[in-house]
Amino acid sequence: MHGLDFIALAGYEGNGASGRQVRLLKDLTTSINGRHVLLVEDVVDTGMTLNYLVKTLQLREPESLAAVTLLDRPYRRLVEDLPVRYVGFTVPDEFFVGYGFDLDERCRNLPDLRLLQPAG
């Protein structure tokens, strides 16, 4: 049986000692116990958010857990051993817009990915 569910996370700056934190905004509505789970990410950079999500979901005992991402920046990783199994594109450390990626809610509707050029 296949299924689709959504989870929402938010990153925020914690106190100086803890640095960047991740918190759960919306949890899954179905059990993943014993199921094969594929996490779909837009971009994987430092890996902090994905690491939090993987650790949280592993406690629910899925049969397997892997991730797919459209854009990957492995050279920015702060976390090792992430289950990023499928990668669309490995990209440079530059800002992309279009195809769902936005800058202050603008440019999200562009039909393709575009590199945002610095102003000036």
The identity of residue 24, as a single letter, is L
Q: Could you give the CA distance from residue 42 to residue 68 in angstroms, rounded to a whole number?
A: 8
The identity of residue 71, as a single letter, is L
Helix (H, G, I), strand (E, B) or coil at 103: strand
Q: Could you give the CA distance from residue 44 to residue 66 in angstroms, rounded to a whole number?
A: 13
Q: Strand (E) positions, 1-120?
A: 8-13, 20-26, 36-44, 64-72, 84-90, 96-97, 114-115
State the catalytic residue, choosing from 45, 72, 93, 104. Answer: 45
> In the annotation, is 45 catalytic?
yes
Tell me the catalytic residues. 45
